[in-house]
Structure 1
């Protein structure tokens, strides 16, 4: 128990199965920020967003943040490394592309070199899933905020770069990202021992071994995470083929 109490992350102490559904995050700072964003996103005036689609993307991103950081899912991520991984995948594959679409007009002057953006996003993802930085984030609110913001910002810039790149280059960057996420997932899945000290005891009240939790987290990265990137690459390829067919001149029979 003393070891478990060393790790009190932003989402609170790891809850047991009898308490987690009542563990909503009522952080006043986060609540005030979300309220101000809601006023901006749902006000009748057009605001700074160029299209209805962009506004809808930002609203969806806002809703996803509420689910991730206000609902009991936040507290559950203190218990299970797998849920933390789901959080991070939701950030980089859900919230980030929504922000990239919703903010593309406001960020039009932001430089987004494709391969540099890809490398930075991958480096952030690997860094925060290394045991020492991960443990630091779960013992400090400031480091936790840095982890979340850098993951989200680097992924948003990556998706902006993908949107601006030629289709072939965009698919190449996505496939490279798929490979690196799958590799990290495989390393976690086949590790011989648990690596993340904050979860050495947090899963035991659920009768889940920390190594089993880590293996499931690795599989989550390896399969659903990689598949989501592959779907994005396939979508780009499909739109590319449609555009190429539309450019072809109509061939009329003689």
Structure 2
């Protein structure tokens, strides 16, 4: 759908008490097909199941419907995908990036995807184009999973830490920009936030704060965890 009167993939913006589950057969089919493919390819199926459950919850639960009404919920949905589902899925596969250059590239891809889909025009497009909606979630999930695969299995601990902290910083910068913007930037929410007790600007500020503080801290914490694991593994590799 690419018309100005198109219904968003997750439905029309709900009023309080009306948010519902996403019962799209297409979404259910894609999630099931992805799980079956992952089941055959995963080296560890436990994080695969956990990550896929989180991804399904983010896209099928009322979060999907609420994200049509509130920018802050859409940000929360994206953080759930990038900070919970993506690391779990990365842990399910034994993908290893070639070196610091590849790790830096994965961090750059994640930054591009994050900033691009939170610019006003591309963001608005996801409300009128199903293709854009799918592209947004696929690129955010794919870029984040690739990034976490690189960070958690980087051959050099300093490269993993640097990439993680740089990603935390750029996410914090985007969150700060959205928090301190003097006016609302996202046209799809111009008339959808008031029933929820928020002005469009307050909703945008809340979303920016979620991205800036919890999002940035979580990225930095996961990067430090990856560093700790790499340092613990270093003596074992030297002994071997």
TM-score (norm 1): 0.84
Runs of at least 4 residues off by over 2 Å: 5-8, 32-42, 47-50, 107-112, 236-249
- Give 3-state SS (helix, strand or coil) of 1:201's partner: coil
Within a 5 Å distance, the mapping from 1:47-196 to structure 2 comes to 47-50=40-43, 54-104=44-94, 107=95, 113-165=102-154, 166-196=156-186
**2:58–2:64 contact (8 Å) kept in structure 1:** yes
State how far apart, in whole Å, the 1-side matches of 2:31 and 2:52 are. 8
Over alpha carbons, which structure has the higher Rg? 1
**1:121–1:154 contact (8 Å) kept in structure 2:** yes
1:252 is matched with: none
2:12 is matched with: 13
TM-score (norm 2): 0.88
- Give 3-state SS (helix, strand or coil) of 1:13's partner: coil
State how far apart, in whole Å, the 2-side matches of 1:153 and 1:38 are. 15
State how far apart, in whole Å, the 2-side matches of 1:241 and 1:160 are. 17
* Number of positions where the alignment pairs a residue of Structure 1 with one of Structure 2: 234
CA change 1:35–1:154 in 2 (3 A) is closer
State how far apart, in whole Å, the 2-side matches of 1:178 and 1:117 are. 14
Which runs of no fewer than 5 residues in structure 1 stay unpaired? 250-254
Give the CA deviation at 1:39.
5.8
Which runs of no fewer than 5 residues in structure 2 stay unpaired? none
1:32 is matched with: 29
**1:82–1:220 contact (8 Å) kept in structure 2:** yes
State how far apart, in whole Å, the 2-side matches of 1:41 and 1:234 are. 28
Q: Which whole-Å deviations, capped at 9, do the CAs of 1:62-85 have from their partners, x for residues lacking one?
A: 111221111111100101100100
* Greater mean alpha carbon deviation, residues 225-234 or residues 176-185: 225-234
